Amino acid sequence: MIAALICVISVVLFLQFFISYSRSIIAAYRMSELSEQVREVVGIEGQEVNSDQFGRLVQLVRLCPQKGDDRTDLKVVGVYYWMMGILRSAARQLAPRVTSWAERERAGCAYFVAVALDRRIAYSRDLLAQQMSDR
């Protein structure tokens, strides 16, 4: 019985840490502004990114060369996006406020991926410029 209690407490603490870590990553990327080029490519108007664009943004990020510093963060935010989708679906009928909060969190995840795409495009541009100058 004590082992089960320790297991449950460990899982709850891990989830709490995971959610805090995910939200801190998303908050750090929220400080970045999207370039006009990424907004045009993705079809984003203004600074808001729709949560439904998450999958397409992830596919675009996978097409860009990896800079190497955001791969783990992308996986963490992907799991967090999935968790918020489950929470949104579960709370749809019972708690509309939780549903709207989960949707805002999912939009934050999509914005995170859009900023990661912006950074990877800038990195690709820098690589191309460096290769052109080496010739």
- Residue whose entry in the numeric block shows the structure tokens 């970045």: 32
Going from N- to C-terminal start, the domains of the chain cover 2-134
pLDDT at residue 68, as a whole number? 67
Q: What's the Cα-to-Cα distance from 111 to each of 25, 91, 101, rounded to whole Å?
A: 11, 23, 15
Sign of CA dihedral 47, 51, 52, 55: positive
Each of the 135 residues of the chain gets a pLDDT tens digit; together they read: 889 899 999 999 999 999 999 999 999 988 888 888 888 888 887 778 888 889 989 998 888 877 767 888 999 999 999 999 999 988 888 888 888 899 999 999 999 999 998 888 888 787 778 777 776
pLDDT at residue 113, as a whole number? 92
For the chain, the DSSP string reads: -HHHHHHHHHHHHHHHHHHHHHHHHHHHHHTSPPPHHHHHHHT--SS---GGGHHHHHHHHHHSPP-SSSHHHHHHHHHHHHHHHHHHHHHTTT-HHHHHHHHHHHHHHHHHHHHHHHHHHHHHHHHHHHHHHH-
pLDDT at residue 10, as a whole number? 94
pLDDT at residue 9, as a whole number? 95
pLDDT at residue 13, as a whole number? 95
- Residue whose entry in the numeric block shows the structure tokens 């996006």: 81
pLDDT at residue 95, as a whole number? 84
What's the predicted TM-score (pTM) here?
A: 0.87
